[in-house]
Amino acid sequence: MNELARRVERIRAVLAQRPDGIMLGDFPSGRVVPGNGLPPGLADVLVVTDGPRGGDIVMYSHAELAQQHLPLDGITAIPDEEAGMWLRFGALNYEPLLVHRHTGEVWWFPDTGVQWFESEEFRKLTDNVEKFCLDYLLGAGYLDICVAGDDDWARLLIELGWADRRSPEE
């Protein structure tokens, strides 16, 4: 968690110095969530920042998580018997980011040209929420999963050295 705390501290300082900082992202103070019943690793991230957002990625605060009752029954890519195993902990371009309640793995519905709930694609992004934060919210993976991949947030991640500019053929 040290690397995540370091990056969050850095991004807070950078955003505070920019006139457009609040439009680019927000990394609120963290909060301890005792006896939380949350998926493995999620409470650890909330201690660092409770409800961060950057670019097209939003992670819900502890208070917002309680309101994330997204019925997944009947979703093409998720077997009905597994529908209750997922918690929507965030969104990417308004589409759900899910964490497995038992393993802490982060999964998503990649853009396939259909609405997420009709998609047959449901893929694992990372083993845990902390890695998701480091690799996607605050890392090079942002350029891979965001539709634009070249927005102000992506440019900020590149400026900070947390992502690399990619050539068009990549």
pLDDT tens, residue by residue, 74-129: 888 998 889 889 999 999 998 999 999 999 999 999 988 888 988 899 999 999 99
Three-state secondary-structure class, residue 16: helix
- CATH assignment of the domain containing 115: 3.40.1580
Domain housing 46: 2-159
What are the pLDDT digits (tens) for 19-32?
A: 999 999 999 999 98
Residue 72's pLDDT is 87
Confirm whether 166 is domain-assigned.
no
Residue 1's pLDDT is 59
Confirm whether 164 is domain-assigned.
no
Q: How many domains in the chain?
A: 1
Kindly report the length of the chain: 170
Q: Which of 32, 24, 98 is nearest to 60 (CA)?
A: 98
Is the pTM here over 0.95, yes or no?
Answer: no
Q: Residue 93 in contact with residue 86, Cβ under 8 Å?
A: no
Confirm whether 34 is domain-assigned.
yes
Confirm whether 99 is domain-assigned.
yes
113: left (phi over 0), alpha (psi -120 to 50) or beta: left
What is the rounded CA–CA span in Å between residue 65 and residue 68?
A: 5
| DSSP per-residue letters across 111-168 | --SS-GGG-S--EEEESSHHHHIIIIISSTHHHHHSSSS-SHHHHHHHHTTSS----T
Q: Which of 1, 4, 2 is nearest to 137 (CA)?
A: 4
Confidence of residue 148 (pLDDT cuts 50, 70, 90): low
| H or E element that contains 100 | strand 95-100
Confirm whether 10 is domain-assigned.
yes
Range list of β-strands (E), 29-76: 53-54, 57-59
Confirm whether 108 is domain-assigned.
yes
Confirm whether 97 is domain-assigned.
yes
Structure tokens at 42: 């999620």
